[in-house]
């Protein structure tokens, strides 16, 4: 079922969006050369506890997961694209890190992700990150009443294809509400003017992710981390967005 939120409920969801944004700001700032992924997870865990929020990840155990996730943030390094399970790894100069975080505040969920280079960047990583971020912006711009889900998908795909990236559509955006994953799926590529019409009150995560050399992935031996099939690097950006008659509201917006 696709649920519509009232303006009051969307207002209530802002707290979760702000909290998720604050955790990504703090964990990104803490992700420096020499920092261990487990300490980044601990920082997010501490922030959840202090805020009285709830993790969406720690008990998350979908059909594709080997066991409950057990951590509160996804840390995907270099060829890891999605669902990077924090492990005992120390960040090195030039690592491309994606942080994906979702939490529930006052019973509402927000979900967001960012990618950046730790230390000295490579040009191809910067191009990948810039394109993925721009694909998210294009998806959000298409998230307006009168458009359809396919318009979001096509907008994301167009940005990726223009830069020569292939798009994997197995994992993509999803409706967000009381739980992290609603029934709505928003592929990162598709045909414009197709799919569900966008109505005020829809709230969903838009989340393009791209890999430099492939659109194929495989699951790491940890049972969670999804890696690029060819070992090339991946980037991932995500925001939780509310559709309103006045345009999309980015609930998980970070401070500039």
Binding interface with Mg ion (CB under 5 A)? 100, 111, 113, 238
Q: Shortest distance, CB of residue 146 to Mg ion, whole angstroms?
A: 27
User: Which DSSP string do the residues of the chain spell out, in sequence order?
Assistant: ------HHHHHHHHHHHHHHHHHHHHHHHH--TT-BHHHHHHHHHHHHHHHT-EESSTT---TT-SS---SSSEEEETTEEE-PPP-S-B--TT-EEEEEEEEEETTEEEEEEEEEESSSPPHHHHHHHHHHHHHHHHHHHT--BTBBHHHHHHHHHHHHHHTT-----SS-EEE-SSSS--S-EE-SS--TT-SSBP-TT-EEEE--EEESS-S-EEE-TTSS-EEETTS--EEE-BEEEEEETTEEEETTPPP-
CB closer to Mg ion out of 95 and 238:
238
CB closer to Mg ion out of 43 and 113:
113
Q: Shortest distance, CB of residue 201 to Mg ion, whole angstroms?
A: 21
Q: Shortest distance, CB of residue 169 to Mg ion, whole angstroms?
A: 16
CB closer to Mg ion out of 189 and 238:
238
Q: Shortest distance, CB of residue 2 to Mg ion, whole angstroms?
A: 19
Q: Shortest distance, CB of residue 100 to Mg ion, whole angstroms?
A: 4
User: Quick check: 99 and 43 in contact, CB under 8 A?
Assistant: no
CB closer to Mg ion out of 172 and 201:
172
Residue nearest to Mg ion as judged by C-beta position: 111
CB closer to Mg ion out of 59 and 93:
59
Q: Shortest distance, CB of residue 190 to Mg ion, whole angstroms?
A: 20
CB closer to Mg ion out of 113 and 249:
113
User: Quick check: 93 and 33 in contact, CB under 8 A?
Assistant: yes
The token duo for 207 is 């989340």
């Amino acid at each position: 079922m696709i649920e519509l939120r009232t303006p009051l409920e969307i207002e209530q969801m802002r707290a979760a969006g702000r909290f998720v944004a604050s955790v990504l700001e703090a964990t990104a700032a803490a992700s420096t050369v020499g920092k261990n992924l487990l300490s980044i997870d601990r920082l997010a865990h501490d922030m959840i506890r202090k805020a009285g929020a709830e993790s969406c990840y720690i008990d998350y155990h979908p059909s594709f997961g080997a066991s409950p996730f057990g951590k509160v943030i996804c840390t995907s390094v270099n060829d890891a694209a999605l669902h990077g399970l924090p492990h005992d790894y120390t960040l090195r100069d030039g690592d491309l890190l994606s942080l994906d975080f979702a939490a529930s505040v006052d019973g509402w969920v927000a979900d967001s992700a960012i990618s950046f280079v730790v230390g000295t960047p490579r040009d191809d990583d910067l191009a990948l990150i810039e394109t993925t971020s721009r694909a998210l912006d294009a998806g959000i711009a298409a998230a307006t009443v009168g458009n359809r889900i396919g318009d979001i998908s096509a907008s994301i795909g167009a940005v990726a294809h223009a830069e020569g990236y292939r798009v994997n559509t197995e994992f993509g955006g999803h409706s967000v509400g009381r739980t992290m994953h609603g029934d709505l799926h928003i592929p990162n590529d598709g045909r414009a003017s197709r799919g569900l019409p966008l109505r005020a009150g829809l709230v969903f995560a838009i989340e393009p992710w791209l890999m430099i050399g492939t659109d194929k992935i495989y699951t790491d031996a940890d049972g969670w981390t999804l890696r690029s099939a060819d070992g090339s690097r991946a980037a991932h950006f995500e925001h939780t967005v509310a559709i309103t008659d006045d345009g999309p509201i980015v609930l998980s917006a970070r401070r500039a």
